[in-house]
Amino acid sequence: MKFRKTILKGLWVVESEVFQDYRGSFLKTFSKCDFELNGLSLNTANCYLTHNPVCGTLRGMHYQAEPYAEDKLVRCVSGRIFDVAVDLREKSETRYQWFGLELSGENHQALYIPKGFAHGFVSLTDNAMVQYQISNDYEPKAERGVSWDDPKIGIKWPIEPKIISEKDKSHPLL
């Protein structure tokens, strides 16, 4: 596994090496040891898989408030998404800045998102499937969000979202 720093401290792109032969391919999607060697921790409490049947489906921008904040490892296992993390940490030099990249079933990259970031994505293909590893159990009382189109953040989405849940449409501006 290769770990690449992003412009936002604590946010990492994780690249998996793919081994291929006549049977197909094989790759490691997580290694506690590799994460620890890079100063990262992800004690997985839950794993989720989302299916997004329609291109242009937006999910986000979500986070959990303390003390239920969570680290996430997000990977697109089928199709393509544009994945985004927004730094919401109060004392961070990059507060309210965002980072986005395309994750796909072909590029085998993942985004490690630490506590204190909001997260969301838009599907770039039909039938995009996204896997999450999450460090904490979901706590409904701690669920929070910020508007996906907040002008203070200024996320540059590569496509105009077509499908957004009512809950995600109602997230407040910063």
| Residues that are catalytic | 62, 132
Please choose, from the candidates 62, 59, 87, the residue with its C-alpha nearest in 3D space to the C-alpha of residue 157.
59
**DSSP code at position 114:** -
**Using CA atoms, how far apart are residues 98 and 153, in angstroms rounded to an integer?**
7
| Strand 163-164, strand 57-64: pairing | parallel
Query: Letter for the amino acid at 100?
Result: G
Categorise residue 117: left if φ over 0, alpha if ψ from -120 to 50, beta otherwise. beta
**DSSP code at position 169:** H
User: Which residues, in sequence order, are bridge partners of residue 110?
Assistant: 14, 75
